[in-house]
Amino acid sequence: MLRTTFCEALGVEHPIVQAGMGPFGSGCELAAAVSNAGALGSLGGSARSPEDLRQQLAVLRTLTERPFAVNFTQPWLQQHPESFDIALEMHAPVVSLALGDPGDLPARAHEAGALFIQQVHTVEQALLVAERGVDVIIAQGTEAGGFGGEVSTVALVPQVVDAVGPVPVLAAGGIADGRGLAAALVLGAQGVNLGTRFLASEEAAISDEWKRAILAAGSQDTVKVDVWDDIFGKPGGGAFDVVPRALETPFIEQWQGHRSDAAIDASRLQGEIMSAIQQQNMERFVPFTGQSAGLIGDILPARDIVRRLIVQATEALESTSRLYS
């Protein structure tokens, strides 16, 4: 068994977090399955109505008695602060945040008895959120799916570890198997945060078409979708400067090459993407997927993904130890 300070702080068996991948990927079934396997499952809380968020949390409580997180993005909470209130009112054990300055949210979570996890993409962001009093920091490299920065995981993680210690740091980006978990621990992280690997799970609430596309993809088939900023604009109010990584689609290919036209037609394109999120067919538009897709060759139950990660990581660390014994 691999246990780190992250495990002790969060009350979980394994140093693995399933990323909060929004409403299209991370529902209560996936979060519960990961938590029941001894890791930390996450419910994607952004882009959900208050009623849907309450319902998902209520169902999640019936599916697991173990710790779980509710994940939000900072731009979403800027527009919908009631979502954070709902998570605290319903006694979420952990709240996690991505894409911006958390402000006083960690203090509010602590007052409600919850722990707070924050994702960052640079050392400067890590120092900022450490000052805000977060309990755990996710250092996410550019390889990750969804919204991210430009620094690679291998370069970013040890820098963040050095900058914010003793705050536990999790590695994210480009990790899909136990070798990646072992590498993260060697870099000084206390665990990993995985998104794409859990998208390719039986419980993930995305289409079979998207899952099959992940299995078929190589790492080079994921691209940074810079045109996103032309369609949605850059958020302000302390939001981090990030753009999504996704599997390339005809939609992305068309508009990446015509960014000025996308800006002119932004209102319509926003509507198409938001409708795709609600109708769960994002695979036709911007299917968030990381470079770790090249490592994924099967769709498994979430519990089997967790177990495989631990077995592979243990084997990798034991194999490495023989190099110097």
The model's confidence at residue 318, banded by pLDDT at 50, 70 and 90, is very high
Instruction: Provide the pLDDT for residue 2.
Output: 92
Residue 83 contacts residue 117 (beta carbons within 8 Å): no
* Dihedral angle, C-alpha 188, 191, 193, 194, nearest 10 °: 110
Q: Tell me the per-residue pLDDT of 98-118, one tens digit each, with 9 for 90 and over.
A: 999 999 999 999 999 999 999
Residue 245 contacts residue 145 (beta carbons within 8 Å): yes
Q: Tell me the per-residue pLDDT of 274-296, one tens digit each, with 9 for 90 and over.
A: 898 888 889 999 999 999 999 99
User: How does the average pLDDT of the chain come out, rounded?
Assistant: 96
The model's confidence at residue 23, banded by pLDDT at 50, 70 and 90, is confident
Instruction: Provide the pLDDT for residue 135.
Output: 98
Instruction: With a cut of 80, say whether residue 146 has pLDDT above it.
Output: yes
Nearest alpha carbon to residue 169 among 156, 179, 178, 150? 156
Rounded CA-CA distance 46/73 in Å is 6
Task: Report the 3 state secondary structure along the chain.
Answer: CCCCHHHHHHCCCCCEEECCCCCCCCCHHHHHHHHHCCCEEEEECCCCCHHHHHHHHHHHHHHCCCCEEEEEEHHHHHHCCHHHHHHHHCCCCEEEEECECCCCHHHHHHHCCCEEEEEECCHHHHHHHHHCCCCEEEEECCCCCEEECCCCHHHHHHHHHHHHCCCCEEEECCCCCHHHHHHHHHCCCCCEEECHHHHCECCCCCCHHHHHHHHHCCHHHEEECCHHHHHHCCCCCCECCCEEEEECCHHHHHHHCCHHHHHHCHHHHHHHHHHHHHHCCHHHCCCECCHHHHHCCCCECHHHHHHHHHHHHHHHHHHHHCCCC
Q: Tell me the per-residue pLDDT of 225-236, one tens digit each, with 9 for 90 and over.
A: 999 999 999 888
Cα angle 6, 127, 229 (rounded to 5 degrees) comes to: 100
Mean pLDDT confidence for 29-53: 97
Structure tokens at 139: 């250092």
- Return the higher-pLDDT residue of 280 and 267: 267
The pair phi, psi for residue 141, each rounded to 5°, is -80, 165
Instruction: With a cut of 70, say whether residue 149 has pLDDT above it.
Output: yes
Instruction: With a cut of 80, say whether residue 24 has pLDDT above it.
Output: no
Instruction: Provide the pLDDT for residue 98.
Output: 98
Angle between helices 28-36 and 50-63 (to 10 degrees): 30
Instruction: Provide the pLDDT for residue 112.
Output: 98
Instruction: Provide the pLDDT for residue 122.
Output: 98
Instruction: With a cut of 80, say whether residue 222 has pLDDT above it.
Output: yes
Residue 224 contacts residue 205 (beta carbons within 8 Å): no
Instruction: Provide the pLDDT for residue 130.
Output: 98
Instruction: With a cut of 80, say whether residue 325 has pLDDT above it.
Output: no
Q: Which domains does the chain have, with CATH numbers?
A: 5-206+297-320 (3.20.20.70), 208-284 (no CATH)
Instruction: Provide the pLDDT for residue 281.
Output: 87
